[in-house]
Amino acid sequence: MDRASMPAPGAAPAGRVLEAENIHVAFGGIHALSGVDMTLQQGIVTGLIGPNGAGKTTMVNVLSGFQRPTRGRILLDGADVSRLGPQRMARAGVGRSFQAARLFRDMTVQQNLMVAGIGGGRSRRAAAALAADILSWMGLSAVAGQRCDSLSYGNERRVGIARALALGPAFVLLDEPASGMNEAECDALMHTIAAIPQRFGAGVLLIEHNMRVVMGVCRHILVLDGGRSLAEGPPEAVQNDPDVRRAYLGEKSPAGGAA
């Protein structure tokens, strides 16, 4: 993969790199991904956008070991990790949230984070300390002892992110973390997400539909459409790309006229 094509505004963050190389995923006759390349760098927020069915969630599943690619490789710091399952990918430093929160609903918030931390290889004590730190940072300390099935919708979404961080990951993949939130909640959450690289040293992959939000938070953006990479680059370039405007924003060409 051509690393030189990645932008490096400011100093390029020295750190870990998670790469997807020529990823194909087929479900029977459905080609969810057809030859997608992507590079995530520790310390920056990368956006993944595209219409429904574009293959975004499949990409996150592949990057986190939940879905084995039909073709192509996943490289973590240059090592081929394509065949590691989700637990081993998590231990290797790749955490994620889910489109639907998927918390352990009969456990407390704190316990959910502990499970992640211990699963990531921490002692109980270290997992507890990290969990407390994350909950405090995310303004969730007040619900630490609450069972997850009693959380408000917004808190449930935020706990999903907190749990991904509780692993202590080098990369955290967030699949539509703001879905169903109102604009103010979404803005607050994006503020938090934008701060993850600084606070935890992790690289972030953010799937989010709201273009304004994505543009504000991401340093680099990949646009998928129909399982293929449509455009890639810094926000300004992607925003002005006519293919992106047509596919993603549903813009008709000016000559289109009717309706």
Residue (147 or 228) nearer to ligand ADP, CB: 228
Neighbours of 129 (CB within 10 A): 13
Secondary structure of the chain: what % helix, strand, coil (to 5)?
40, 25, 35
Q: What are the C-alpha distances in Å from 63 to residues 20, 30, 92, 94, 205?
A: 7, 19, 12, 8, 10
Residue (8 or 27) nearer to Mg ion, CB: 27
Taking the C-alpha atoms of residue 127 and residue 15, their distance in angstroms, rounded to an integer, is 23
Which of the listed partners (Mg ion, ligand ADP, none) does 52 bind, with a CB threshold of 5 to 8 Å by partner kind? Answer: ligand ADP
Tokens of 22: 């020529």
Does position 52 bind ligand ADP by CB under 6 A? yes
* Number of residues counted as binding ligand ADP (CB under 6 A): 11
Among 41, 57, 82, 239, binds Mg ion (CB under 5 A): 57
Taking the C-alpha atoms of residue 107 and residue 112, their distance in angstroms, rounded to an integer, is 6
Residue 61 CB-half CA count within 13 A: 14
220 contacts 49 by C-beta, under 8 angstroms? no
Considering the complex, what minimum distance in angstroms separates the CB of residue 177 from Mg ion? 12
Which of the listed partners (ligand ADP, Mg ion, none) does 50 bind, with a CB threshold of 5 to 8 Å by partner kind? Answer: ligand ADP
Among 34, 42, 57, 229, binds ligand ADP (CB under 6 A): 57
In the block, residue with structure tokens 């489109």? 99
Residue (56 or 219) nearer to Mg ion, CB: 56
Which of the listed partners (ligand ADP, Mg ion, none) does 155 bind, with a CB threshold of 5 to 8 Å by partner kind? Answer: none
Does position 160 bind ligand ADP by CB under 6 A? no
Q: What are the C-alpha distances in Å from 117 to residues 4, 129, 139, 206?
A: 35, 10, 19, 21
Considering the complex, what minimum distance in angstroms separates the CB of residue 173 from Mg ion? 12
Label residues 102-121 b or e (16+ Cβ within 10 Å = b). Answer: ebeeeebbbbbbbbbbbbbe
Does position 122 bind ligand ADP by CB under 6 A? no
Considering the complex, what minimum distance in angstroms separates the CB of residue 100 from Mg ion? 10
Residue (31 or 91) nearer to ligand ADP, CB: 31
Residue (30 or 129) nearer to ligand ADP, CB: 30
Binding to ligand ADP (CB under 6 A) within 58-97 occurs at: 58
Site residues for Mg ion per CB under 5 A:
56-57
